[in-house]
Amino acid sequence: MRIGIGNDIHRLIEGRPLILGGVEIPYSKGEDAHSDGDVLVHAIIDAILGACAKGDIGTLFPPSDERYKDADSLQLLKQAVEYTGARIINIDSSITLEEPKLRPYITAMRERIAEVLSIDIDRVSIKAKTNEGLDETGKGNAISAIAVVLVEN
Ligand code: MG
């Protein structure tokens, strides 16, 4: 058994979709990123790579590589797991954003991630909270996520 931690942050800008856990959330802004900007999945990828001591997302999927332009982060997650050969025991994660409220979308996000990883949905935990108006995240200019993953490797 090995444990890993991952975190990520993206600016929120107009004219971009807000993708979290592979689910498009209706909102006026989305993540500014080379890929689809799925901040939650990026944190999970880094946690898995970290658990296996296999580097980080930027090394495995360089932003300078045009193959990853607007990439579906769930596919990157799948590739990262295949790369490590790890079996995911469970994931816990937390997203911080000021708005919109994510509660209606949490189950769909858990389903998408569990499906990609071929694990039960009860092994994927996703929480959401605001930053109480503090810092750039609290002003609605950024979104961040943190994830912890236990793997068997
Ligand atoms: Mg990212």
| 129 annotated as belonging to a binding site for a ligand | no
Q: How confident is the model over 32-42, as pLDDT tens digits? A: 998 899 999 99
Q: Please tell me the predicted confidence (pLDDT) of residue 37.
A: 95
End-to-end CA distance of the chain: 6
CA of 93 to the centre of ligand 1 (A): 15
pLDDT band at 90 (very low <50, low <70, confident <90, very high): very high
Average pLDDT over residues 65-91: 94
Asked whether the predicted pLDDT for residue 99 surpasses 90, the reply is yes
CA of 37 to the centre of ligand 1 (A): 6
Q: Please tell me the predicted confidence (pLDDT) of residue 44.
A: 98
Whether 78 and 116 have beta carbons less than 8 Å apart is answered as yes
CA of 62 to the centre of ligand 1 (A): 11
Q: How confident is the model over 103-141, as pLDDT tens digits? A: 999 999 999 999 999 999 999 999 999 999 999 999 999
CA of 9 to the centre of ligand 1 (A): 6
Given CA atoms 58, 148, 113, 28 in this order, what sign does their dihedral have?
A: negative
CA of 146 to the centre of ligand 1 (A): 11
| 55 annotated as belonging to a binding site for a ligand | no
| 121 annotated as belonging to a binding site for a ligand | no
CA of 73 to the centre of ligand 1 (A): 9
Buried b (16+ CB within 10 A) or exposed e, 71-99: bbbbebbeebbeebebebeebbbbbbbbe
| 5 annotated as belonging to a binding site for a ligand | no
CA of 13 to the centre of ligand 1 (A): 14
Whether 31 and 19 have beta carbons less than 8 Å apart is answered as yes
pLDDT band at 64 (very low <50, low <70, confident <90, very high): confident
Asked whether the predicted pLDDT for residue 66 surpasses 90, the reply is no
Q: Please tell me the predicted confidence (pLDDT) of residue 70.
A: 83
pLDDT band at 69 (very low <50, low <70, confident <90, very high): confident
Q: Please tell me the predicted confidence (pLDDT) of residue 67.
A: 86
Beta bridge partners of 18: 25
CA of 45 to the centre of ligand 1 (A): 10
What is each CA distance from 70 to 21, 51, 94, 136, in whole angstroms? 15, 26, 23, 24
Average pLDDT over residues 46-66: 93
How many CB atoms are closer than 10 A to CB 101? 10
